[in-house]
Each structure stands twice: as C-alpha cells, then as structure tokens.
C-alpha cells in the first residue's frame, strides 16, 4: 500500500529561525515528489517538484532534498517569516500501468512561526 | 491568465440532501481532479476527468459522481449527504498526464448539518 508519512505533525518556531520538515514514503513505482504549502482554508500551492534523478531543489527560502534509496525527503525553510505559517504537504506520484499517475498525499506538517 | 476557479466558496447542506460543486480549470489545462480534505488531514483523491470521462477513481462510494464538459470545466456531485462529507473540496487541473504541473483551486468548504 502506498503511504506518505510526515513529521513532525506540528511545529512552532520563532521568526528568523530555520526548520526542517521530514517526509518518508513507500510509493512504487516512484515518479516524482512534490512539496506543497497550504494556507488554512485555501488550496495547496506547489513549492518544489523532484524526479528520481534530482536530490535537491530550491525555491527561494525553501530547499527540498530527496534520497530515493532511503525513500526520504526533507523541506528546509531558511530565515522563517510569519507568512510561512501554514501546512506543508508532501505528495508522491506513482506511475500507473497504462499511463497516468496516482498521487499519495501526506497529512502535512502544521508550521506556526511566532514573533 | 485565470487560474483554477471553484464555486461556491462555502456551502451548508442538510444530511440527505444533494450538492453540486463546480470547477473551471486553468487556461490550457484539460484534466480535472477532485479531492476531499477533512480538517487536519491531507487531501484524499476522489476522481479525475479527462476528455469528458472518468480516468481514475479513488476509494469513494458511488454517491460521489462527476462530469466534465467540452470546455473542460467539471462538476462534482454528492448524493445523500452524510455528516462525514463535511470537508474542503479541492479541484486541481493539469494538462494530459503532466500532473506534476497540477494547479489547485481555492476549494469549496462544504458543511453538512
């Protein structure tokens, strides 16, 4: 069964500090992994997308890493801002026989940045 | 260039009623996927429409049905509403099999009382 597990479930940090969110997955066959940011009551917004051959990708203050051997990914946020407060969701895409992909979503890490 | 739009924004229904949610994909996109997101949970895949047909389906009962129109917009219908159907319903659009370029709409908040 395809699964995506994220940790921690929630996190509180002070503004300006860095943090790292974790994602472990058991999805096969692996196609790509993406991180989304979701503000409360809004749709998810894509931060990074990584394929099997990519082990790091950055988007401003967000840097994602991927270890396809251990099936782990992390999202590092540098110099956090109050606007970073949101849920961060790890999504893994598996290729389907005959074409198309199936997405498996993690339950997200709820990040709160405080003054 | 309009992104993914959904309507209505919020909706309150009574148990047993039926509801229709609407989604217009991002310009240039032809594939629409629907997700249900309960409070504090990640989105759960309901189904995906491509070329006006259901291409994939998640583990949702037949009470959940959909439709895609020739202009690629889509509807999600839920019959015989249950309290547990209360959730944020997200629509995402993409082009063909390129779901890595999937864009999400703002969602419709459905409350069943």
Q: Give the residue-averaged pLDDT of A26-50.
A: 91
* 3-state secondary structure at position A85: coil
Q: Say which DSSP state A39 is in.
A: -
Q: How many CA atoms lie within 13 A of A84 on its CB side?
A: 28
Quick check: B43 and A45 CB within 8 A?
no
The pLDDT value recorded for residue A64 is 97
Q: Say which DSSP state A32 is in.
A: E
Interface test with B, best of A27, A31, A38, A43 (most B CBs within 10 A): A43
Which pLDDT tens digit goes with each residue over B12-61?
999 999 999 999 999 999 999 999 999 888 899 999 999 899 988 889 99
Which pLDDT tens digit goes with each residue over A73-102?
999 999 999 999 999 999 998 876 666 677
Quick check: A105 and B44 CB within 8 A?
yes
CA distance A52 to chain B (A): 13
B110 touching chain A per CB within 8 A: no
The minimal CB distance from B97 to the residues A36, A44, A99 is found for A99
Q: Identify all chain A residues contacting B102, using CB atoms and an 8 Å cutoff.
A: 46, 103
CB B11 within 8 A of CB B109: yes
Q: Give the residue-averaged pLDDT of B2-19.
A: 95
Question: Tokens at residue B37, please?
Answer: 């997101």
Rounded Cα–Cα distance for residues B102 and B92 (Å): 6
The pLDDT value recorded for residue A29 is 86
DSSP letters along chain B, please? ----EEE-SEEEE-TT--EEEEEEPPTT--EEEEEEE-TTS--EEEEEEETTEEEEE-S--TTEEEEE-TTS-EEEEE-S--GGG-EEEEEEEEETTEEEEEEE---EEEEE-
β-sheet bridge partners, residue A19: A77
CA distance A34 to chain B (A): 8
Q: Identify all chain B residues contacting A44, using CB atoms and an 8 Å cutoff.
A: 43, 90, 104
Rounded Cα–Cα distance for residues A48 and A34 (Å): 5
């Amino acid at each position: 069964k395809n699964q995506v597990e994220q940790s921690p479930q929630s996190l509180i940090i002070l503004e300006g500090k860095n943090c790292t969110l974790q994602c472990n997955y058991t999805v096969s066959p692996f196609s790509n992994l993406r991180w989304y940011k979701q503000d409360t009551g809004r749709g998810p917004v894509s931060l990074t997308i990584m394929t099997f051959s990519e082990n790091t990708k950055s988007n401003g203050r967000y840097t994602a890493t991927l270890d396809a051997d251990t099936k782990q990914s992390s999202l590092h946020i540098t110099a956090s801002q109050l606007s970073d407060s949101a849920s961060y969701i790890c999504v893994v895409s598996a290729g389907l026989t005959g074409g198309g992909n199936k997405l498996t979503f993690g339950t997200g890490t709820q990040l709160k940045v405080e003054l | 260039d309009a992104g993914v739009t959904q309507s209505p924004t919020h909706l309150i229904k009574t148990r047993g009623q039926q509801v229709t949610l609407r989604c217009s994909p991002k310009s240039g996109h032809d594939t629409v996927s629907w997700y249900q997101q309960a409070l504090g949970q990640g989105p759960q895949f309901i189904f995906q429409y491509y070329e006006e047909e259901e291409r994939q389906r998640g583990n949702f009962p037949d009470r959940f049905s959909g439709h895609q129109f020739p202009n690629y917009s889509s509807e999600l219908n839920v019959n015989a509403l249950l309290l547990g159907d209360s959730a944020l319903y997200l629509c995402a659009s993409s082009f063909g099999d390129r779901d890595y370029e999937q864009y999400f709409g703002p969602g419709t908040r459905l409350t069943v009382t």
